[in-house]
């Protein structure tokens, strides 16, 4: 067992030395692998942040109930009455003065509000239903609209549906491009190892002539495929990190306009390890299929 592990260690190290001995050609291969991996990694990072934003904004459906011009005590009584309904989880009354104060606190609205002669905002009750079912919420909106003193009931859920559609689109693009790019990595490693086997045909014939088994001859090529894929994954991680830093500046500027402190989240340690593991596995499989097939076709003379 010790000799077996020692042999693997020796062949693994020798495969790395052989790659470093041909830096120019192998560098081009590593860069091709890196940019093939960088696209799905960057898309995954963007998809993860879109999901994070969507999760933050996916609040329960809320109904905005606009009241007629009624005294504040009547509006408060109506809010307390709505709390008794079984379909309603919470009901918060926002007076016109409180609504105007909240509007002033929104960036860019303070000067516009100061130009108003009087307060044009109506009293509002923000109602949170007990159920998130769309049909139940719609039925509740109709029931509220029939109540006296209520001028309009608005359910602003369209933007949530649009956000969900954008999230679905980003996730689909991530899966599609990830599949295509991982296939490209597979083909690049496989073709590189196939050419390497053909270039070393005479050496392989001599090794088979002296009794070397196919598995012994194949093993260095397997390690070469893994080293190439891992090197590409490292460069891809660096490229994705740089992309994340560049995008983070733009995202931070956009978030500031919406008075938000959201920042772009990069790859975590576990996600980086998964990247290396997937890349190494693809390199191993590509080397096994491409090099193994041609090794079987080479016979000693």
| 75 has a pLDDT exceeding 60 | yes
Contact 181, 275 (CB under 8 A): no
180's tokens: 């295509």
Cβ of 29: how many Cβ atoms within 10 Å? 18
Measured CA to CA in angstroms, residue 165 lies from 123, 170, 173, 301 at distances of 33, 9, 12, 63
Structure-model confidence comparison of residues 167 and 30, the more confident one: 30
User: Which residues neighbour 265 within 8 Å (Cβ) at sequence distance 6 or greater?
Assistant: 45, 48, 49, 52
Q: Report how far residue 247's alpha carbon sits from residue 264's, in angstroms, rounded to the nearest whole number.
A: 8
Give DSSP secondary structure letters for 24-79: HHHHHHHHHHHHHHHHHHHHHHHHHHHHHHHHHH-PPP-EEEEEPS--HHHHHHHH
127's tokens: 């109602």
Closest CA to 95 of 70, 123, 66: 123
Q: Provide the percentage of residues in the chain whose pLDDT is more than 90.
A: 7
For the ranges 29-33, 37-41, 294-298, the lowest mean pLDDT is seen at 294-298
Q: What is the pLDDT of residues 172-211, one digit of tens each?
A: 888 888 888 889 888 988 888 888 887 877 877 777 777 7
User: Which residues neighbour 125 within 8 Å (Cβ) at sequence distance 6 or greater?
Assistant: 64, 65, 67, 75, 78, 79, 82, 91, 92, 93, 94
Q: Report how far residue 258's alpha carbon sits from residue 250's, in angstroms, rounded to the nearest whole number.
A: 13
Closest CA to 127 of 116, 113, 143, 107: 143
**If you ran DSSP here, which 8-state letter would residue 86 be given?**
T
Closest CA to 192 of 292, 293, 296, 290: 290
Closest CA to 88 of 149, 144, 135, 134: 144
Give this prediction's pTM: 0.67
| 296 has a pLDDT exceeding 70 | yes
Q: Report how far residue 266's alpha carbon sits from residue 49's, in angstroms, rounded to the nearest whole number.
A: 9
Closest CA to 224 of 182, 278, 280, 265: 280
Q: Report how far residue 200's alpha carbon sits from residue 171's, in angstroms, rounded to the nearest whole number.
A: 43
Q: How confident is the model at residue 237 (pLDDT cuts 50, 70, 90)?
A: very high
The pLDDT of residue 301: 59
For the ranges 3-7, 31-35, 214-218, 232-236, the lowest mean pLDDT is seen at 3-7
- Average pLDDT of the chain is 79
Q: What is the pLDDT of residues 57-71, one digit of tens each?
A: 555 567 888 888 778
Closest CA to 88 of 120, 66, 109, 63: 63
| 277 has a pLDDT exceeding 90 | yes
């Amino acid at each position: 067992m010790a000799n077996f592990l020692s042999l693997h260690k020796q062949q693994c190290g020798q495969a790395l030395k052989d790659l470093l001995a041909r830096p120019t050609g192998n560098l081009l291969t590593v860069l091709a692998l890196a940019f093939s991996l960088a696209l799905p990694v960057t898309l995954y990072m963007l998809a993860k942040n879109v999901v994070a934003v969507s999760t933050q904004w996916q609040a329960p459906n809320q109904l905005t109930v606009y009241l007629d011009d009624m005294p504040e005590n009547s509006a408060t009584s109506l809010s307390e009455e709505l709390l008794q309904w079984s379909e309603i989880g919470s009901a918060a009354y926002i007076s016109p003065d409180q609504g105007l104060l909240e509007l002033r606190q929104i960036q860019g609205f303070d000067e516009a509000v100061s130009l108003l002669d009087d307060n044009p905002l109506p009293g509002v009750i923000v109602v949170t239903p007990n159920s998130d079912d769309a049909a139940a919420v719609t039925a509740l909106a109709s029931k509220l609209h029939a109540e006296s003193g209520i001028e309009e009931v608005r359910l602003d859920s369209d933007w949530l549906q649009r956000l969900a559609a954008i999230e679905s689109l980003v996730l689909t693009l991530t899966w599609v491009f990830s599949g295509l790019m991982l296939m490209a990595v597979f083909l690049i490693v496989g073709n590189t190892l196939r050419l390497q086997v053909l270039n070393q045909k005479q050496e392989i014939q001599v090794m088979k002539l002296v009794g070397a088994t196919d598995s012994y001859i194949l093993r260095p090529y397997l390690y070469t495929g893994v080293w190439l894929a891992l090197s590409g994954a490292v460069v891809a991680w660096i490229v994705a990190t740089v992309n994340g830093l560049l995008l983070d500046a733009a995202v931070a500027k956009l978030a500031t306009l919406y008075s938000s402190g959201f920042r772009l989240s990069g790859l975590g340690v576990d996600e980086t390890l998964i990247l290396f593991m997937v890349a190494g596995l693809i390199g191993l499989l590509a080397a096994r299929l491409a090099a193994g097939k041609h090794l079987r076709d080479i016979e000693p003379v």
